[in-house]
Amino acid sequence: MKFTDGYWMPKPGVTVYGCAEIRDVIFSEYKVELFIAPFEVTHRGQTLAGPLLTLEITAPRLDIMGIKYYHYKNAMPKDPAFELYLEPQKLTLEETDEEYIICAGKMKATLRRKGNYSLTVTYEDKQLIKSGYRQAAYLTTNNGVFFRDRLDLGVDEYIYGLGERFTPFVKNGQSVDIWNEDGGTSSDIAYKNVPFYVSSKGYGVFVNHPELVSYEIACESATRAQFSVPGEELEYYVIAGGCGKAAISNYCAMTGMPPLPPAWSFGLWLSTSFTTNYDENTVNSFIDGMFEREIPLTVFHYDCFWMKEYEWCNFSWDEAMFPEPAAMLKRLHEKGLRVCVWINPYIGQKSPLFDEGSKKGYLLKRTDGTTWQWDRWQPGMGIVDF
């Protein structure tokens, strides 16, 4: 989300309470808390009104540093939440006249103790991220409250990742919303969004929020990677390891590794895609064409029109197009192919399953207790309530 009109001016209705000056620090073995004013405090009378922002620094795993800002403590429980595998590391705190230096293994967070706030995170004394004066901020707007941070980008630094994307591979210059939507494969809307990016400088940043996360990568500010979330807090992890590959491995160790799919799933898949008029002969022509060209094929996928129009998703083959589905599938299996069929969690009103689902409460309801319906994709469809 963009909060400014150009570089200088906040948008109408936006008030920015940016981190300006550290006022106090509390150290414990696994967490350092810093209390930050959004302005320079010159006399005690200024402390009578807020906000006062809190920063918690932790080391949830080796080579990972946790950064958490909040305004109101425990304002809203964050649920659901990502399941993380944490192995908290001990911290050390060094205080100099000018800085607070927080260390955990090879990682170090350095904060300016007096004057203009800044936070710098390094790995083996090499800078990974820096958040300067008033860049981390709590914001009030006409659309609610938000927390954001802006991390400096180097002149030759490039950002990759953020889950499945159909826009250019380098994310610099892009606005990205982490919000799963059915938008096809030719826009900035994606099905599998992940709030994690990797820098060409060999580190990653994971924003620990399963709700909407908005990114402005070298966009609202051309020299910064910005991310924001609605609400009273913002938590993210700076993930290092010495190179991009190590950072991704450390990210996976914290968020969980996927199981290895079966070997056949790595083969070539062929789909009818959104061909709206196809039958068994069409399918055979696709498959035979691949074999004739000596192109190896592992899986054949039937897209939505394997079912009868107006009746998705009733799990029944369209008999007009596929009169003998069992025999057809047997022939495909004999060719060494696996078969996949398209399904979605909704039921068209014409489907024999609709009345059963609606009567037994299997479909989403409106506030008045009636079944929620609309006409997109299938006329009168209802959505399965999991």
pLDDT in tens, 354-364: 999 999 999 99
Mean pLDDT of 23-46: 94
* Burial profile 33-63: b = 16 or more Cβ within 10 angstroms, e = fewer: ebebbbeeeeeeeeeeeeeebbbbbbbbbeb
Mean pLDDT of 204-233: 96
Residues 114, 23: Cα–Cα separation, whole Å: 9
Instruction: Give the mean model confidence (pLDDT) for residues 218-245.
Output: 96
Cis peptide before 230 (omega within 30 of 0): no
pLDDT grade, residue 258 (50/70/90)? confident
* pLDDT bucket at 77, cuts 50 / 70 / 90: low
The per-residue pLDDT for range 328-342, each reduced to its tens digit, is: 999 999 999 999 999
pLDDT tens digits, 272-285:
988 778 899 999 99
Percent of the chain clearing pLDDT 70 (strictly above)? 99
Burial of 286 (0-12, 13-18, 19+ CB in 10 A): middle
Find out whether 198 and 161 touch, Cβ atoms under 8 Å: yes
User: What does the pLDDT average to over 97-121?
Assistant: 96
Task: Give percent above pLDDT 90 in the chain.
Answer: 89
Whole-number Cα distances in Å, 149 to 16, 133, 309: 12, 11, 48
* Confidence band for 99, pLDDT divided at 50, 70 and 90: very high
pLDDT band at residue 76, thresholds of 50, 70 and 90?
A: low
pLDDT by residue (tens digit) across 130-183? 999 999 999 999 999 999 999 999 999 999 999 999 999 999 999 999 999 988
Q: What is the pLDDT of residue 75?
A: 66
The answer, yes or no, to whether residue 370 has pLDDT greater than 70, is: yes
Please provide the average confidence, as pLDDT, over all residues in the chain: 94
Sequence-distant (≥ 6) Cβ neighbours of residue 321 within 8 angstroms: 278, 279, 280, 305, 306
Give dist(CA 217, CA 170) in Å, integer.
Answer: 10
- Give pLDDT tens digits for 293-318: 999 999 999 999 999 999 999 999 99
